[in-house]
Structure 1
Amino acid sequence: MMQGKPLRKYLFGAAAVGLAAAVLVSTGNSRIDGTAIAGEIDVRTLDVGKYPVLPVSAYYEYRNDFSYGQRLASMRLADSLLLGTDIDATLKYGDWDSFTADTLLSSFSDSVQPALKEHKLLYGFATGSTDIEDYESFVLSPGDDAVADYQRQYRPTFFGMSVMQFPDAAAAASAAEVIERLDFEVAPDQNQRVSLDKYPSAHSHWRPGVPTLGSIVARGNYVVNLQVGKPTPDLAALTALATQVLDAQLPRLDKLPPLTPTEVLMLNNDPGGVLERALNSQRLGGPEPEHSASYGLQGYFHVRRDSFAQRDLYQNSGVEKVGIGWDATVIRTRDAAGAEQFQTGLFDGPGFIHADAPTNVPDTTCTENEVTSAYVKRFTCSVRYRQFVATVSSDQLHDTHQRAAAQYATFANAQ
């Protein structure tokens, strides 16, 4: 399955017992000073190579910042957004983007950007799902756009959706109206207004002959900017798909309290306590949506579509939080038994080849990946500690082993 990746710029145009060893000196070599406590191994014996073994808080302190807060708010929002498979099992491929008020602007046309600024857009998250793996761009541009025309040769069913939060409901409603008007006026002689029977407040239009339909609707402080597409320009099918998406998405937003600017500023950088435990060789901070981010399971599947094939494993193991760190991905399950269940199933199935685990690192399994990419290295090891499981990767097995050892020590030292 395709790895989730950020949308292109033109996307939205128009408890366990025992205490850990206490670490006093870390990364100069594989020796770690400290005292082992009964019940766990002496992590000083582990070959961690050049890698640090301290939790992130030992060298990085997050300081609340509004720009960072907007990133955290967008990650929070992702956990309440629809995946294509929530409405149709075939809509399993997709893209995503996370944005602040400033970075979002580059995803909209020049004509729309002033309206977003005027209505004080706070943050948002964009996601798209389709049934065609090679359909990448989720273009929201007119039928005469060359890129859009090229992409339509795949004849996809898709939806592309950005959800934005504004300071209040009045600003959201006004923004929705203005955005629709500006988008419609790009080609007023060709566009045609459309009504969604179930959502009369939604502003919708299409261009006859083009198999896409745009709809924008305000819901409390949120605005949903939606584009749907079908293989053929069938207006009934397009309005049905738009209605289906809104049916599934709007109730999710109703359950997510909007944030005030002050609340955005004060968001926790690591609400699940997962990034604190992730191997971080460069001692980097965050938040960054792809490298230093804490998600619930829904949000994680937006940004890591390749993991969705194991959705049942994540759900049945009770995965509660996932931290995408700079050098490791850390999941937290409901309890230690859930972590063991998750680790047991993680490398089970096609695409995984058994690889030797590092010596003396408890509860660690490794695999050689049949298919590699910019995102998937040749070797991956999973490291389990209490209710946490981390994965670390490298193109060299020895390096992966050292990363796994350092990750185990980091787990221990974070307790």
Structure 2
Amino acid sequence: MLAAAVGGCGSVVPGEAVRAEPNLADLDVGNYPTEPLEYGTAADEDAARYREAQRLGDFVALPLEADPAYVTRLMGMGGPVVLDRRDMQSLVINDTFDEVAGELVAGWVHTWSTGGEVDTSQQMSIAVLMFPDAATAESVATGLEHDDFTFNTDNRPVQLSKYPHSKAHWRPGITSLGSWTSHDRYVTYIKYNDLSGRAELPEMVQRTEALLDIQLPLLDEFEPTPAEQLNDVELDPDNILALTLPKSETLIATTGPAGAFRGRGALFALSGIENLDFFEKGQVSAIGLAESVVMRSDSAEGAEALLNNFKPKTDSTESTPIEVPEGIDGGQVHCYSRKLEEYETRPSNFCLFRTGHFFAQVEGSQIQDLHQKTSAQYALLAR
């Protein structure tokens, strides 16, 4: 109060208030770590390629950017990281992918769908594959399109008027369009599929071109890691994974390594996303995906905006508030239990909180475990 009186007289001091040092002694963190983990550089070539795919993922467009009707992220459709044919799953039907794309450095793929019933929905898949140079990318795009024709001789070529160098095809009577587009050292594969069976060819072409309109400029912004430096690529360049609860070895074996992102790439693991506005409103600078989700904002106000964005609405029918862990100061933690039918036999709970410039989300099936994980995550961020 003395300092305020001396410096007062209506003056305003710029900057943010200094937060009091939190008391972490009363937190129940169970066996979860509360000290940052150093990730270092890639251990081998596969780890380096996986990390490069994550970097690329921030520059792969989401179908909802071309059409906000694509509100549902589909699982089990491939990727998101692409290192070989297996990661493309059912999106590529020919069996020559690994041969034609043998020089693949890394890729990223995802599929989104419109809402409503599955059999009346529209699905849009997009994959971006990166190669050593533009000549290789062009050769791969040509080769994969050729093999789509040899695999099914009923396919017919389709011209994309806005992108005449693209290679596209469809099968008359089937409301699906596939295309391969080379751009510098990248190949973009887009597959549009209307499960209602109503789409006409011009509409399928228009939707493909609309997504390419967004995707190709994004690739001009991406800076690949130079080939000679790839095996030394940093796994956590923004020091965000260090502050995120680490994945267990079991989880790594089933879902892949933890990931550090700065934007779009992280959305493969987030639900309830309808647009990308929260990136700007939340002033997001880094995202860590491991056992928990952590987002770093450029300001405390941005972190608060993220909390408000991801917090369920008060009239939500999909979740209900539950008790929060003790010892987290400031009243900034909110916990919920999901009420959807799919979770009736396997409980699903989560906690959200913000502290300083950070927002975090933690998942857990059992309440005690969820509270311990949330407390450990808070300890990592509040130190």
TM-score by length of 2: 0.82
Aligned residues: 353
Q: Does 1:273 align with 2:239?
A: yes
Matched, 1:191 2:155: yes
Q: Is the Cα contact below 8 Å between 1:43 and 1:409 reproduced in 2?
A: yes
CA distance in 2, matches of 1:257, 1:197: 29
Distance 1:377 1:271, change over 3 A: farther
CA distance in 1, matches of 2:159, 2:363: 50
- The residue that corresponds to 1:248 in the other structure is 214
For residues 205 and 103 of structure 1, what CA distance do their matches in structure 2 show?
20
Aligned match for 2:80, one of 98, 104, 112: 98
Partner of 2:185: 221
Q: Give the match's secondary structure for 1:226.
A: strand
- Cα distance in 1 for residues equivalent to 2:155 and 2:249: 52
Counterparts in 2 of 1:291 and 1:391: CA distance versus 1, 3 Å: farther
Q: Name 2:294's counterpart in structure 1.
A: 330
Q: Helix, strand or coil for the counterpart of 1:129?
A: strand
| Counterpart mapping for 1:171-186 below 5 A | 171-186=136-151
Q: Which residue of 2 aligns with 1:73?
A: 52
- Could you say which residue in structure 1 is the equivalent of 2:22? 41
Instruction: Give matches, 1:11-410, under 5 Å.
Output: 17=18, 39-57=20-38, 61-95=40-74, 97-102=79-84, 104=86, 107=89, 108=92, 109-117=94-102, 120-132=103-115, 135=118, 154-188=119-153, 190-230=154-194, 231-232=197-198, 234-280=200-246, 282=248, 292-304=258-270, 306-309=271-274, 311-326=276-291, 328-349=292-313, 350=316, 351-363=318-330, 364-371=332-339, 378-410=348-380
Cα 1:192–1:61 change in 2 (3 A) is closer
Shift of 1:99: 3.0
Question: What is the CA-CA distance between 1:338 and the residue it aligns to?
Answer: 1.6
| Residues 1:343 and 1:91: Cα distance change in structure 2 (over 3 Å) | closer
Superposed CA offset, 1:285-318 (max 9, x none):
97997651112232222332x1304854454222
Distance 2:347 2:358 in 1: 22
Cα distance change on mapping 1:99 and 1:85 into 2, 3 Å: closer
Cα distance in 1 for partners of 2:35, 2:356 equals 17
**Change in 2 beyond 3 A, CA 1:403/1:388:** same
Is the Cα contact below 8 Å between 1:322 and 1:331 reproduced in 2?
Answer: yes
Query: Is residue 124–residue 193 contact of structure 2 (8 Å, CA) maintained in 1?
Result: yes
CA–CA separation in structure 2 for the residues paired with 1:206 and 1:301:
29
**CA deviation after TM superposition for structure 1 residue 42, in Å:** 3.5
Runs of 4+ in 1 over 6 A off after TM superposition: 283-289
For residue 391 of structure 1, report the CA deviation from its aligned partner: 1.9
1:304-350 per-residue CA deviation (whole Å, 9 max, x = no partner) reads 2x130485445422222221112x21111111222133224532401
CA distance in 2, matches of 1:370, 1:285: 22
Q: Is the 8 A contact 1:286 1:293 kept in 2?
A: no
- How far did 1:184 drift? 0.9
- C-alpha contact (below 8 Å) 2:64/2:274 kept by paired residues: no
Q: CA RMSD in A?
A: 2.9
Q: Go from structure 1 to structure 2 and tell me whether the alpha carbon gap of 1:86 and 1:52 turns closer, same or farther (over 3 Å shift).
A: same
SS at match of 2:362: strand
TM (norm. structure 1) is 0.76
Secondary structure at the counterpart of residue 192 of structure 2: strand
Q: Tell me, yes or no, if the aligned pair for 1:290 and 1:303 is still in contact at 8 Å.
A: no
The structural deviation recorded for 1:405 is 2.0
Of residues 290-299 and 332-341 in structure 1, the stretch that sits farther from structure 2 once superposed is 290-299
Distance 2:262 2:117 in 1: 27
In structure 2, do the counterparts of structure 1 residues 16 and 164 end up closer, same or farther at CA, with 3 Å as the change threshold? farther
- Measured in 2, the distance between the counterparts of 1:294 and 1:45 equals 30
Amino acid corresponding to residue 59 of structure 2 in structure 1: S
Q: Which runs of 5+ in 1 are unaligned?
A: 1-14, 19-38, 136-153
Q: What is the distance in 1 between the residues matched to 2:247 and 2:52?
A: 26
Paired AA for residue 34 in structure 2: V
> Post-superposition shift, 1:115?
0.9
Q: Distance in 2 between matches of 1:221 and 1:68?
A: 21
Which AA in structure 1 matches 2:128?
Answer: V
